[in-house]
């Protein structure tokens, strides 16, 4: 009977497994925290590629619209952005009618460039709609396809609004129906 009472109180060897589990969890947490600290605090981590860097047609990193020929100062911070009116286009799918709705924002160097881009808005919208209406559903599916579309749209933006200091082009909304 003394053996039964000892097992009920947890002294019969059942508690050793839970202690080992707690130790393993603690060690795992410490190792994870250490790996995260090394990844975040290592030199050069702050020099990661810009979030709006785009992929070219060959898969290599392409220059974003504002990087062409100059190395901008990262400390300068983001410039003003101009939200373009939403684009709703009929996609070029022969089997079924598909539409895409896109919201695009353009980051420019300064307020003067923002005003210049606003003045060229009809030409920019025309160039974007012409490009987008020639796309299929597959051309807008996946991150690589969207990156290619952004590169093409940035080229059309440079052609439609030459001389405007564009730093980045961002797709903030994309719905294909």
pTM summary value: 0.58
Look at residues 88, 111, 112 and name the one whose alpha carbon lies nearest to residue 100. Answer: 88
Q: In this structure, are 31 and 83 located in the same domain?
A: no
Q: In this structure, are 28 and 74 located in the same domain?
A: no
pLDDT tens, position by position, 117-129: 999 999 999 999 9
Q: Is residue 6 part of a domain?
A: no
The DSSP code sequence of 27-55 is HHHHHHHHHHHHHHHSTTGGGPPPTT-EE
Q: Is residue 7 part of a domain?
A: no
Q: Is residue 9 part of a domain?
A: no
Q: In this structure, are 137 and 94 located in the same domain?
A: yes
pLDDT tens, position by position, 53-99: 444 444 444 444 444 444 444 446 788 999 999 999 999 988 899 99
Q: In this structure, are 34 and 91 located in the same domain?
A: no
Q: At residue 10, what are phi and psi to the nearest 5 degrees?
A: 90, 10
Q: In this structure, are 129 and 111 located in the same domain?
A: yes
User: CB under 8 Å to 83, separation ≥6 — which residues?
Assistant: 103, 104, 105, 172
d(CA 122, CA 84): 11
Q: At residue 72, what are phi and psi to the nearest 5 degrees?
A: -75, 155
Predicted local distance difference test score (pLDDT) of residue 51? 41
Q: Is 24 helix (H, G, I), strand (E, B) or coil?
A: helix
Q: Which domain holds residue 141?
A: 54-176
pLDDT tens, position by position, 3-40: 444 454 445 555 667 888 888 888 887 777 777 777 77
| CATH of residue 144 | 3.30.479.30
Look at residues 150, 105, 153, 163 and name the one whose alpha carbon lies nearest to residue 129. Answer: 153
Q: In this structure, are 80 and 27 located in the same domain?
A: no
- The count of structural domains within the chain is 2
d(CA 109, CA 29): 44
Q: In this structure, are 59 and 34 located in the same domain?
A: no
Q: In this structure, are 145 and 106 located in the same domain?
A: yes
Give, in order, the Cα–Cα distances in Å from 31 to each of 19, 25, 28, 66, 175.
18, 10, 5, 41, 41
Q: Is residue 118 part of a domain?
A: yes
């Amino acid at each position: 009977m003394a053996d039964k009472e000892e097992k009920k109180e947890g002294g019969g060897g059942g508690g050793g497994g839970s202690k080992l589990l707690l130790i393993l969890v603690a060690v795992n947490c410490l190792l994870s925290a250490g790996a995260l600290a090394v990844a975040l605090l290592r030199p050069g981590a702050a020099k990661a590629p810009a979030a709006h860097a785009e992929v070219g047609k060959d898969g290599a990193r392409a220059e974003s619209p504002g990087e062409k020929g100059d190395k901008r100062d990262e400390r300068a911070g983001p410039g003003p952005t101009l939200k373009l009116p939403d684009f709703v286009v009929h996609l070029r799918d022969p089997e079924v009618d598909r539409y895409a709705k896109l919201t695009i924002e353009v980051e420019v160097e300064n307020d003067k460039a923002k005003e210049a881009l606003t003045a060229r808005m009809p030409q920019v919208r025309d160039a974007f709609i012409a490009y987008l209406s020639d796309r299929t559903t597959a051309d807008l599916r996946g991150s690589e396809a969207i990156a290619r579309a952004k590169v093409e749209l940035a080229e059309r933006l440079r052609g439609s609004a030459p001389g405007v200091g564009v730093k980045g082009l961002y797709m903030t909304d994309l719905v294909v129906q």
